[in-house]
Amino acid sequence: MSAALQVQLLAGAPLLLMAAGIVLVMLLIAAQRDHRAIAQLTTLGFILAVGACLIPQPTVEITPLLVIDDYARLAMALFAAAGAITVLLVYGYLARHDGWREEMYLLLLLAVLGAMVLTAARHAATLLLGLETLGVALLGMVAYPLLRKRPLEAGIKYLVLSAASTATLLFGFALVYAATGSLQFDALGALLAAGEGSDRAIAQAGLGLVWVGFAFKLSLVPFHLWTADVYEGAPAPVAGFLATVSKGAVAVVLLRWLDAASLAQTPMLTQALAALAIASIAVGNLAALQQNNVKRLLAYSSIAHFGYLLVPFLVGGDTAREAVLFYVAAYAVMTLGSFGAIAALSPGANAEDADHLYDYRGLFWRRPLVTSVFTPMLLAQAGIPLTVGFLAKFYILAAAVERHAWVLAVAVVLGSAVGLFYYLRLVVVQFLPRPGGMRPETVWSEITVTRGVALALLLVALIVGGVWPQPLAGAVARALAALG
């Protein structure tokens, strides 16, 4: 084996691990269905992938399609960790599932593989490949409880809109290719700048369409209409995974894409996107105010969150790039934790999730441990200090202030103020007395313990990230230094 190949294999280890895991799980399912063993195997695979990402290595290019640098490795570690947490959450959720349970882990591995490909993409083909792998796997996960109406409906909605967004993205890339003759990110920047006349117009139209595709995936207003229904219908752990990994991976690849197709060349697009950001913040927060369904509430709040996240993309600069990555990491923790708490309260794949506001009344007295995770997660999303959510917002405001983007900064501030209202409503309802049921309901079992471990890990990440953020901030800064 040549040395170059060896280096490439080592760098691609997380991807290979996922692929090997998929094959292994598939074979195991064919041989003997064992829910616990497969869940354990999947967790192990994710943990190994996180470990593989943490080994320091130089930047390695694998074919013209993939580049594995520190940036990709950090994002891969994040998504693999999110996958591991999702396994722990979904295990209990599926415990009483009537149908086949094991395929969920297959889909999960596939989805994380897609997300990992996205983080390393430096070519339009890889980008689409990763996006589709992720999207198709997610479709299966969303509609996993096949016999229930809401997940099925959510799955179909997700399928249609995801296909539409991919088509838009494809068309956009086609136009960009027609104008520049390149699909490689590295070469694109110079070619775009050099284009003139009709080429330039075509390229700009292409860039616009690419952004529309991304906006679908990030559920920015006005491309957000699928979000609430899909989140509401999807099983709670899957909704959390969808919100963090699917959206997070798109945000990560978007940062790479922007290095090539920088917004500075297209001022009109920048203004349009600024309007999208403000609209997302406004619509997401205002719509969340109206919700009595907790999953829909979180869906709208995620629209608002990605409105905030668009701000650093728009303003650009080093701080802004750090802000993006930091926010994605923080958002992953907060959102997985919030949906994890919902999953912990839900009966499982056979029945509807516990997503009505009334289900949460008196929760603090009935399920103190769930509340003591859920409350900090919600406060973090509201941006309260001592949680990682505050620092994420801090990064965004710092990025905006650095580039004098006052309008966007004020939009973030006002959005946060409105956001407080519904987060606090959801927090306080857990502490209000509920007629009839105030006794502790905790039961200890394998399921509650696995879920408890997942929630506890997320809580620790949330608090440590908020109280002692330097390790994460340092890792983010190093990862971006590699991006150049």
- Under the rule (CB under 8 A), what is the footprint of another protein? 379, 383-386, 390, 394, 397-398, 401-402, 409-410, 413-414, 416-417, 420-421, 424-425, 428, 431-432, 468-470, 473-474, 477
Ramachandran assignment for 386, one of left (phi > 0), alpha (psi -120 to 50 degrees), beta (any other): left
Distance CA 62, CA 68 (A): 8
- In single-letter form, the type of residue at position 429 comes to V
| 8 Å CB contact between 108 and 141 | yes
Q: How far is the CB of 398 from another protein (least distance, A)?
A: 5
Distance CA 427, CA 262 (A): 40
| 8 Å CB contact between 331 and 404 | no
Distance CA 58, CA 41 (A): 29
346 vs 387, which CB is nearer to another protein?
387
Distance CA 99, CA 131 (A): 28
N-terminal to C-terminal alpha carbon distance within the chain? 31
- Cα angle, residue 58 at apex, residues 55 and 59 outer, rounded to 5°: 115
- E strand spans, 125-227: none
Pairing of strands 60-62, 66-68: antiparallel
| 8 Å CB contact between 394 and 323 | no
Compute CA distances 440 → 363, 364, 459, whole Å.
Answer: 9, 9, 21
Torsion of CA 341, 347, 350, 354, to 10 degrees: -60
Cα torsion 271, 274, 280, 281: sign? negative
206 vs 465, which CB is nearer to another protein?
465
266 vs 416, which CB is nearer to another protein?
416
Strand (E) or helix (H) holding 37: helix 35-54
Distance CA 191, CA 201 (A): 13
Compute CA distances 62 → 58, 111, 469, whole Å.
Answer: 12, 21, 33
188 vs 426, which CB is nearer to another protein?
426
